[in-house]
Each structure stands twice: as structure tokens, then as C-alpha cells.
Amino acid sequence: MTTRRRLPLLAAAFLPLRPDSARAQAMGDATGTLGRILRSGLVRVGVWLEAPPWGSYDHDGTPDGAEVALARLLARDLGVRLRLQRLAVRDRIPALEEDRVDILAALVPVMSATSRRVAFASPHGELTVAVATRRDSAVRSLADLAGRRVALPDNTFAAEEARIRLPPDTTQLLMPDLIACIDAATRGRVDAAISYGWLLRDLSLSRPELDIEQRFTLTHAHHALAVRLGDADLLRFLNTLLYLRGADGTLAEIHERYLRGTPAVAPVFR
Amino acid sequence: MRDVTRRALLATIAALPLSPAAATPLRIPTLRALRAGLDLDGTATAYRDAANGLAGMAVEVGALIADGLGVVLNLVPTSAARAVEDLRAGSFDLLLNAPPLTIEAAREVLFADPYAALDLAVIAPSRLPLSSAAALAGRRVAALGGRAMQLLASRAPIDRMEVQALPDLSAIAAALAEARVDAAIVTSPMASRIATLNPAMEVKLTLGTVWLAPACRFGDHDLLQAVNTLLYIARQEGRMQLLHQAYYERALPRPPFF
């Protein structure tokens, strides 16, 4: 082979690839997981479907909830297909670390311990886990629940938090859902119910005749999308998306649809 | 002949821009000058002043970033059509007036925090009745071509409009003046400039907020962090609000969470 023949091959080897479309060219720049998502046309989002109203199923058995809606928005804005990966509560962080998912939209609370393992996007929501009792109840604090019967909504973040924080000699009764817990408390079958602040506020407005009120907050947390540590391009894309979707009202619509009311402004951080 | 071909090919290879994947991230401690791309679009964002110097909000933002980094600011001219490609090809390291912040553009570059909040405005001859975005249906509408077009999709009935993508402000102003289009959708500084050039034109309605932000290449997170920190300090000190008021004659709103 002559030098002249070899040179075009050499040149071709050094030439940058010329993708067929502008979209493909744009994809080439992003690094890490964002680059992979854009090149493959698929994003794998880990969701927790035992956490209504953030993650559950609709009447047809299709995944639904505020975090699921956000996952669908993510895929749409990335311009790629969505693969929802159902995760158990304790499997959320390992699934991200082990590269089984690209992003967690799974009600991951922003906590210092977790921030050593994942990178959080700007928080997009908050949740308060509260203890509710009848109005004449003597329960005023966590310590007052010692030796009492407390209703926990099964398979929820609220129940997870309650299990960690309730005094050890509390009798924990798992109920099928949030309303069943409230019902048990109003009927006096339990001394207190674990619930969410948004639900108790909603009930106080829509059903003022119900003998139930929020006694104290068990825990309050902001939650955020999470990506692997070091995935800075993806993290910045998510923060940009949250910024724009916060500004155009899309996040507020999701909040209104699943949680009612206007979302509180989350703390600013990068 | 063989030597000529060989030299030509080697020169071609040498002239090729580095592929973005091979480019190394900018190192702030060794930086001596900030090469910042500027699209001199003739609006309050970037224009030539009476003394033929460069002025505008983007120029001020470039100056405060370079000053904060303690380096010289080297402004590199670019255009709306080429800006993103020039940034990615390494012609400069920071794009001062990047395309408006959209999800689509965020797939191509790293956006820093916004420094300006403008309106997306519909400008048309005063006699033309246009009271809503829906009234644009069936009209010939001019807009800036390229990535700025991404703003239109969610805000105007583009599938029912005859959209003409034009390269710059002067082309849009000419199309309006010559009645080649019924209206134009542009950012508020561009609309103000067109109305100044042609008093028969007026802003009919606005289609929401447009955020302007500097942009870096993917991977340049040290630079991004430095830019965001300096923009944050400028907001905390009130300098950004003063500049925004001075150039755009409107307050810089508190941005949504980011």
C-alpha cells in the first residue's frame, strides 16, 4: 500500500465521527450517565411504588404517583424512552450504586448520611410525617406513645420513619392505607395514627367533623432526585430541568394533582 | 505530487478541532484569560456603544466573572447560529449570551445560573389586532432561527402558523417593515430595538419568561461552579439587579429554585 493510499485511512482515523443528525452530534458531548442515556435513547429511573401518593398504582395497575409523574417528565425532557425500575425501599441507594438505574425518583430524603453515597439534585418536594390523635387525647409527644397502640400505613415512607422513631414498647398496628389509620384513630381502636401533614391539613378542611388532628411532627424532610456521585453532567441537566419546570408551573401541576396545594419553595443549593 | 497530498492531508488533520470528548476540563488555577464567546446581537444584551466599544448585560457579566477569577477577559465574536458549535469546538470556554435556557439546549451545553429574565414578545404593526397567542394561527410569523426556535414550541400554535426562521435582528426588522411577515416572536430587548427602529411596530403580547444564562462545555464543572459562585455573589451584593434594571429597564425577579 502506498503512502498516498494509507494517508486517507490515517486521516479517517483521526477525523471526528460525523453523526447523521444534529441530535446525534449534540449527544456526543455529554459525559457519564447523561451521555449514555442520550446515546442509548433510554433512561432507567428507579421508583418506589409502595409510597402513595408519591409512588403507587392506578386502578388499571399502571405505576402512578407524583414521583412516577416526575420520572415520565424526565424521560420526555431527555427525549428518550423511560424504563421504570420498581425498587424496594431499602434497595433504592444500592440500585443506583450498582448501576441498575440511572436516576432515583423514589422519595429519597435529603439527609447527610445519604449524601455520602449519592448526589442530590435540587429538592423538588417536602414531606412531613405526623402523629394524629383524637382532639381529647393526652398524647403530646413521642414519649407519650410509649405503651400505646399506634396505627401505621403499611408500605409507606411514613411507616418506615415511624418504625425508626416510635418508642420500643409502642404497639405498632399495620393498616392497609392512610385512611384506614385515620379511621382507626377516630373510632378509638388505636391511640394515634401515623400520617402525612398534607393529608391531615386536607382532612381538617374537607372533613372538619372528623375527630382527628395533628399532634406533632415525627419527621420533616425534603426529597430530591438522586444520581451517582461524580455524574456531574447529569446532575446539572436535572437541576436545569427542575429550574425550568419549576418556572413554567409543571412541577406545581404535578404537586397539585397528587398532593394538593402549592409546593413550598425548596432550599437553594447546587 | 505525493508530498503535496501528504502535506495537505496532515495540515487538514492538524486543523481539525479537538473532539469534545478528548478535551480536558479547564483548570481554574492555571487560567490567565477567560475566552468568552459573545453574540453581538445589537440588543441590550450585547451591542456597540457610541464610542464603538462593546457594551450590554452579557459584556458586564463577562467582566464580573473575569474580574472574580482575576484574569483578563478576551471576548471572542460568535453568532446565534454558531455559538453552541463554537463553544463545543473550543473557540472559547464560556458562552456569555447562549441560546435562551431551554430543556433542548440543556442537552447540548452546561448552563450556569441565569443572569437575565426577559419576556418572549410578539411584535407586530400597531394596526394588527393580536390579543392572544391563539390569534397567531394562520399568520406569517418571523422568529430567530436555530435554538431560539425551541422556545416557540410550548408557547405558540406553531403548527398553525407559517414560521419564518431568520438569522438576526436586522433580518427580522426588515421582514416586518416590508410586510413579508405579519408578526415576529422575539425576546423583549429585541422587540424594544425593533420598535425603536420602526415606531410603527409595537409589542402586542408576551408569551412567558425567557431566561438567559452563560454556558460551558459538558465536563467543565470547575468553571461552571466558579461562574455560579460569582453570579451568586453579584446577586447577593445587588450588582446583578442594578445591571438588569439598567440594561433591560426591568427588575431581575427572584429565580425559581435551582
Model pLDDT, residue B24 = 74
| Binary contact (A248, B208; C-beta < 8 A) | yes
Shared-domain flag, residues A200 and A72: no
| Binary contact (A28, B21; C-beta < 8 A) | yes
Partners of B20 on chain A (C-beta within 8 Å) are: 28-29
Q: Give the mean pLDDT of chain A.
A: 86
Model pLDDT, residue A265 = 54
Cell matching residue B57 = 448585560
Mean pLDDT value across residues A55-60 = 91
Domain(s) of CATH 3.40.190.10: residues in chain B: 28-115+213-248, 118-210
Any domain includes A142: yes
Model pLDDT, residue A40 = 96
3-state secondary structure A212-255: CEEEEEEEEEEEEEEEECCCHHHHHHHHHHHHHHHHCCHHHHHH
The total number of structural domains that make up chain A: 2
User: Minimal Cα–Cα distance from A24 to chain B, Å?
Assistant: 10
E strands, A20-98, are: 42-47, 56-57, 63-64, 81-86
Model pLDDT, residue A156 = 79
Is A197 within 8 Å of A131 (Cβ atoms)? no
Q: What are phi and psi of A196, to 5 degrees?
A: -110, 145
| Binary contact (B110, A236; C-beta < 8 A) | yes
Q: Give the mean pLDDT of chain B.
A: 87
Given a cut of 60, is residue A193 above it in pLDDT?
Answer: yes
Query: What confidence tens digit (pLDDT) does each residue in B65-110 have?
Result: 999 999 999 999 999 889 999 999 999 999 999 788 899 999 999 9
Query: What confidence tens digit (pLDDT) does each residue in A12-28 have?
Result: 333 344 343 444 444 33
Shared-domain flag, residues A50 and A168: no
Is residue A124 helix, strand or coil? coil
Given a cut of 90, is residue A38 above it in pLDDT?
Answer: yes
Q: Which residues contact B137 (CB under 8 A, 6 or more apart)?
A: B157, B160, B161
Please tell me which of the candidates A11, A15, A29 has its beta carbon nearest to residue B218: A29
Shared-domain flag, residues A140 and A215: yes
CA B85 to chain centre: 13
Query: What span, in angstroms and rounded, lies between the C-alpha atoms of A9 and A12?
Result: 5
Model pLDDT, residue A270 = 44
Query: What confidence tens digit (pLDDT) does each residue in B15-59 have?
Result: 444 444 445 778 888 889 999 999 998 889 999 999 999 999 999
Cβ–Cβ contact B57 with A under 8 A: no
CATH (domain of A65): 3.40.190.10
Instruction: Give me the percent of chain A exceeding a pLDDT of 70.
Output: 86
Shared-domain flag, residues A142 and A121: no
Q: What is the identity of the amino acid at A237?
A: F
| Binary contact (A27, B107; C-beta < 8 A) | yes
Query: What is the CATH T-level fold of the domain B28-115+213-248, as seen in this structure?
Result: D-Maltodextrin-Binding Protein; domain 2 (3.40.190)
Cβ–Cβ contact A24 with B under 8 A: no
pLDDT class of B8 with cuts at 50, 70, 90: low
Cell matching residue A250 = 409543571
Q: Chain A residue closest to B217 (CA)?
A: A29
Host domain of residue A152:
127-220
ipTM here: 0.79
Any domain includes A17: no
Is A191 within 8 Å of A150 (Cβ atoms)? yes
Model pLDDT, residue A10 = 40
Please tell me which of the candidates A28, A31, A122 has its beta carbon nearest to residue B258: A122
Cβ–Cβ contact A246 with B under 8 A: yes
Model pLDDT, residue B80 = 87
Class of domain B118-210: alpha beta
Model pLDDT, residue B148 = 75
| Binary contact (B103, A27; C-beta < 8 A) | no
Is B160 within 8 Å of B138 (Cβ atoms)? yes
Model pLDDT, residue A50 = 83
Model pLDDT, residue B154 = 77
Q: Chain B residue closest to A267 (CA)?
A: B257
- Answer with the residue of higher pLDDT: B111 or A268: B111
Q: Nearest to residue B36, comparing CAs of B247, B214, B167, B213?
A: B214
Cβ–Cβ contact A120 with B under 8 A: no
DSSP secondary structure, A147-206, as one string: TSEEEEETTSHHHHHHHHHS-TTPEEEEESSHHHHHHHHHTTSSSEEEEEHHHHHHHHHH
